[in-house]
Each structure stands twice: as structure tokens, then as C-alpha cells.
């Protein structure tokens, strides 16, 4: 097919993987800085729980533990810490007399929104320094990468 690029070689894929890993670390540093700017207490493991609960309001502790790869006791302790900080709360689940779901409090939702805004603003600032076609190519590549994650086999 005319105009189609050749398939990447193993060497090219390895180089791309290394560049992507380096870029991911840089973006991770931006995320950590954004979290610290919002609240120095907001460490990555706490933020991870907030993001997970914020994206899945009402999930139970078992689903949280499974989804984040934590043990159930660790997830429970983390939630107790976030609950004491008034960032999440446990609520009864409608239609399930014994079910308890996790939700963000207003303060937790506000803190998470502030974090996401700061993170996106900083990344957008970096992307403004890229040529327009490079920024668009990056976006297209990231969309393709994310959609391929589901198809990729675990190592």
C-alpha cells in the first residue's frame, strides 16, 4: 500500500520503548510535583486511591484492592487514612443491605480536580514548545498506544 510506513524493527521498537519509558518518568515527575503543589500530604500511593475511587464511585474495598494490586488489609488501612483526612467516605450501597461503597468527599473531589488541572496545565505547557505537527503526532501515537494496551499480553 502506497504511503504506508514499513513495520518497525526490533531495534527501533526497543529504542522507542526506552524513549517512552524516559518520557513516562518525566511525566510522572510532573504528576508528583502537581500533587505536592496541591497538598504535600498527597503522596503517590494516596493519590492512586483517590483517582481510583474518583473514577469508580461506589466501588467496594475488595474491588479497590483488586484494581490497584493491593492486599485487602493494605487497601483498608489506606482508606482509613484517607477517610480520617476527610477525602473519602464509606456509604451504604443502594439495593445491598450489607454493601459499603467508597466515594470521594467534596474535599476529596476538589483536591483531585485541582491535581488533574495542575498536571494537565503543566503537560500542555511543555507541549506548547513542540512543533504543532509533533504535538498532534504525539497525541495520535498515545491514543494508539493506550488502545493497544488492552491487546498486549502481560510479560
3-class SS at 100?
Answer: strand
pLDDT tens digits, one per residue of 63-105: 999 999 999 999 999 999 999 999 999 998 887 777 889 999 9
The DSSP code sequence of 105-126 is: -HHHHHHHHHHHHHHHHHHHHH
Better-predicted residue by pLDDT, 6 or 3 = 6
The model's confidence at residue 1, banded by pLDDT at 50, 70 and 90, is very low
Q: Per this entry, what is the length of the chain? A: 155
All structural domains of the chain with their residue ranges:
20-131
> Taking the model in full, what pTM does it have?
0.83
pLDDT tens digits, one per residue of 114-139: 999 999 999 999 999 999 899 999 99
Domain 20-131 coded CATH 1.10.10.10: yes
| Half-sphere CA count of 88, side-chain side, radius 13 A | 32
Amino acid at each position: 500500500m502506497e504511503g504506508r510506513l514499513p513495520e518497525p524493527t526490533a531495534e527501533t521498537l526497543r529504542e522507542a520503548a526506552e524513549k517512552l519509558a524516559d518520557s513516562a518518568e518525566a511525566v510522572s515527575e510532573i504528576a508528583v510535583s502537581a500533587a505536592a503543589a496541591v497538598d504535600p500530604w498527597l503522596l503517590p500511593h494516596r493519590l492512586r486511591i483517590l483517582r481510583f475511587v474518583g473514577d469508580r464511585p461506589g466501588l467496594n474495598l475488595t474491588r479497590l484492592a483488586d484494581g490497584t494490586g493491593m492486599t485487602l488489609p493494605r487497601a483498608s488501612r489506606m482508606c482509613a487514612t484517607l477517610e480520617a483526612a476527610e477525602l473519602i467516605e464509606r456509604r451504604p450501597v443502594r439495593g445491598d443491605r450489607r454493601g459499603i461503597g467508597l466515594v470521594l468527599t467534596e474535599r476529596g473531589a476538589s483536591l483531585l480536580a485541582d491535581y488533574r488541572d495542575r498536571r494537565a496545565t503543566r503537560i500542555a505547557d511543555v507541549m506548547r514548545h513542540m512543533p504543532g505537527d509533533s504535538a498532534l503526532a504525539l497525541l495520535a501515537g498515545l491514543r494508539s498506544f493506550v488502545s493497544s494496551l488492552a491487546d498486549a499480553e502481560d510479560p
